[in-house]
Amino acid sequence: IGGSAATVSSSSPGVAAVAAVPPGKGVARAGAAVPHLTSGVVSHCTFASSFRLSYKFLLYANTFAVGGGVVVEDQPDVSAVLSAYNQQGDPTLYEEYYSGLKHFIECSLDCHRAELSQLFYPLFVHMYLELVYNQHESEAKSFFERFHGDQECYYQDDLRVLSSLTKKEHMKGNETMLDFRTSKFVLRISRDSYQLLKRHLQEKQNNQIWNIVQEHLYIDIFDGMPRSKQQIDAMVGSLAGEAKREANKAKVFFGLLKEPEFDVPLDDEDEEGENEEGKPKKKKPKKDSVGSKSKKQDPNAPPQNRIPLPELKDSDKLDKVMNMKEAARRVRLGPECLPSICFYTFLNAYQGLTAVDITDDSSMIVGGFADSTVRVWSVTPKKLRSVKTAADLSLIDKESDDVLERIMDEKTASELKILYGHSGPVYGTSFSPDRNYLLSCSEDGTVRLWSLQTFTCLVGYKGHNYPVWDTQFSPYGYYFVSGGHDRVARLWATDHYQPLRIFAGHLADVTCTRFHPNSNYIATGSADRTIRLWDVLNGNCVRIFTGHKGPIHSLAFSPNGRFLATGATDGRVLLWDIGHGLMVGELKGHTDTIYALRFSRDGEILASGSMDNTVRLWDAVKAFEDLETDDFTTATGHINLPENSQDLLLGTYMTKSTPVVHLHFTRRNLLLAAGAYSSQ
């Protein structure tokens, strides 16, 4: 797929105007009476978390520099917040205090050393900031140079930013300092290790470190054996430390909603024969061990009316019938039957490909570009057509059987449609399930809704004040989510100008979003290296997952809704059990950022795509089988991950110098991948 186009600005001719739609009267699906969620509910999740060092967003740093901070209303006075670092301690003794604690931890028993070593990084940061705030610049520089090399490698990016704060004035000008007074870096430590630390600090009368522990750290104490170095390393790395155990105890309805029953008319090829009465027998669809949808009520599913969902139109029912017929012919994947892969390469994409999406029926593909355009292609022989003008529509016989075909203008038929309207790079795109609408989000801070009948912009949703990195439609349509540089995710409805929910809690950009298959939950990944799961009903954060060592850039729910796969700049895929709130797997192999994850339709294969120009296939059934979680495991977060994830790797497929930015399984389990050719 190739081509080129001139850069388009908001003032260029042909830019689609935003339709003036009265609130509540917009582009709700025709014929669907949808009760509304109450607007304006803000998440109850607090902003209290660890120190949030100034960061540089890695996705498109060349497009938008994140040097300054996000302006948030009603923030406390900067001086009052930073006064937490006002102290009268002897600055010349800071190195002695830190080295003394370091010597004590390194000489402690092996079973305690790994847990107590978690103190090094947060203590180092807060002691350095105390020295800077109290204008002991030479002591701060000496302290940093002596101990910064002892910190874990996954904190090096944060330390580079920290090293730039050398004066008190730098702290006042950095908005990330505003959370320090009430923030707590979370450390999970066994009771025995904590008592050992407390006794040491009391014996040495080291009040300086003890005050930092009490004021800036949250020690999550558990009873039992201390965790091993491997178990700790698997869970740490985020800006906020680990998640508190209480954060993952809320009940989550991860099951699927009951599917409506349809009478599926079978084609000749679907018939297996005739019974004694001459009636055709229906072919029974195969049962999927991991991800199939069932007509039986899932005991873990939410109530059918927990959130208002749009009613199905006749066209939706017809599409579901087609989906079920395709599923009956679906290839059952596994280690002995891997999917074929079709790769769409964007050639001559000098506009800079930044986002890709493919419709559920695999008939259209869309690309978002850095020149502010959105381009839609048909990947079937059927070309894209627009609806006729109002004058021409008035001449059509509305009672004719082929009225839906007659309303389309053959003169407009083409394989490519270019949509103009954004005034900045387009970072996210998403097709609606019924293929009537398309979402796009941009650096210009807006999310636009496009009609795929007229290929014009219907609505521009304005709520984010900074670039919007991702957007996605709900599996049932009508609702959609967006996330951006302002550190929040927003839930929208297509017929509301204002967001219905604001999910606040991340400490950095919300880089990716994903709806749960039952639409009751939304997962968000962030540059703060955490993943959060939000309840659509009330806006609460019900899960916080830590373990990645870099910003999150891809999310994928298993088809059965129980598991979540996440990918990040650290090149790892982490697997999570949503019900128990635990990490259950780690897949290593990629050498660069993972931008695409997707489960097969039956949930037996997990595909991952990366900037290292590879597509990898993983055995999801083997990864999730025999998961045993007892009360102790759930309470402490102890989980023994498989040592060799290569046992789960089914195949690695190289592209021709093309980073993988999107993956999609067709209804018959053919894997589609997409990316822009890179000559570098």
Enclosing domain of residue 107:
78-239
Residue 218 has phi, psi (to 5 degrees) of -115, 110
Structural tokens at position 450: 């496009």
- 497 and 364 assigned to the same domain: yes
Instruction: Give the residue from 239, 259, 290 where a domain finishes.
Output: 239
Instruction: Give the residue from 239, 267, 282 where a domain finishes.
Output: 239
Q: Would you tell me how many other CB atoms lie within 10 Å of the CB of residue 541?
A: 22
Residue 280 DSSP label:
B
Structural tokens at position 403: 């009225």
**What region, left, alpha or beta, does residue 193 occupy, with left being phi > 0 and alpha being psi -120 to 50 degrees?**
alpha
Answer yes or no: is 269 within a domain.
no
Q: What does the CA dihedral 651, 657, 659, 660 come to, rounded to 10 degrees?
A: -40
Burial of 284 (0-12, 13-18, 19+ CB in 10 A): exposed
Structural tokens at position 181: 């007074």
Answer yes or no: is 108 within a domain.
yes
Answer yes or no: is 623 within a domain.
yes
- The Cα–Cα gap between 452 and 467 comes to 24
pLDDT of residue 10: 32
Average the pLDDT over each of 6-15, 33-42, 109-118, 639-648 and give the range with the smallest value.
6-15
Q: Where are the alpha helices (H) located in 84-136, listed in sequence order?
A: 94-106, 110-116, 120-133
The structure tokens 């000008």 sit at: 173
Instruction: Give the residue from 195, 221, 239 where a domain finishes.
Output: 239
Q: What does the CA dihedral 406, 411, 412, 414 come to, rounded to 10 degrees?
A: 110
Answer yes or no: is 379 within a domain.
yes
> For residue 141, what is the domain's CATH number?
1.25.40.500
- 498 and 643 assigned to the same domain: yes
- The Cα–Cα gap between 658 and 596 comes to 13
pLDDT band at residue 336, thresholds of 50, 70 and 90? Answer: very high
- 52: pLDDT strictly greater than 60: no
Number of domains observed in the structure of the chain: 2
Q: Over the stretch 405-463, which tens digit does the pLDDT of each residue have?
A: 777 777 888 999 999 999 999 999 999 999 999 999 999 999 999 999 999 999 999 99
Question: Distance of CA 257 to CAs 14, 100, 290, 519, Å?
Answer: 43, 57, 16, 9
pLDDT of residue 62: 36
pLDDT band at residue 31, thresholds of 50, 70 and 90? Answer: very low
Structural tokens at position 474: 């709900």
> For residue 550, what is the domain's CATH number?
2.130.10.10
The 3-state DSSP class for residue 179 equals: helix
- 1: pLDDT strictly greater than 70: no
Answer yes or no: is 245 within a domain.
no
What share of the chain has pLDDT > 90, as a percent? Answer: 56
- 223 and 348 assigned to the same domain: no
pLDDT of residue 530: 95
pLDDT of residue 578: 96
Q: Report helix angle 94-106 to 120-133, nearest 10.
A: 180
Q: Over the stretch 195-231, which tens digit does the pLDDT of each residue have?
A: 999 999 988 888 889 988 988 899 999 999 999 999 9
- 352 and 206 assigned to the same domain: no
Answer yes or no: is 298 within a domain.
no
- 606: pLDDT strictly greater than 90: yes
- 357: pLDDT strictly greater than 80: yes
Helix (DSSP H) and strand (DSSP E) numbers for the chain: 15, 32
Which residues, including other chains, have CB under 8 Å from residue 368's CB and lie 6 or more apart? 353, 354, 355, 356, 374, 425, 426, 427, 428, 429, 440, 442
- 508 and 363 assigned to the same domain: yes
- 638 and 494 assigned to the same domain: yes
What DSSP line would sit under 12-65, residue for residue?
STTPPPPP---TT-S-PPTT---PPPPTTEEP------S-------SSSTTTS-
445, 490 Cβ separation under 8 angstroms: no
Average the pLDDT over each of 246-250, 324-328, 601-605 and give the range with the smallest value.
324-328
Q: Over the stretch 504-523, which tens digit does the pLDDT of each residue have?
A: 999 889 999 999 999 999 99
Answer yes or no: is 256 within a domain.
no
Answer yes or no: is 312 within a domain.
no
480, 441 Cβ separation under 8 angstroms: no
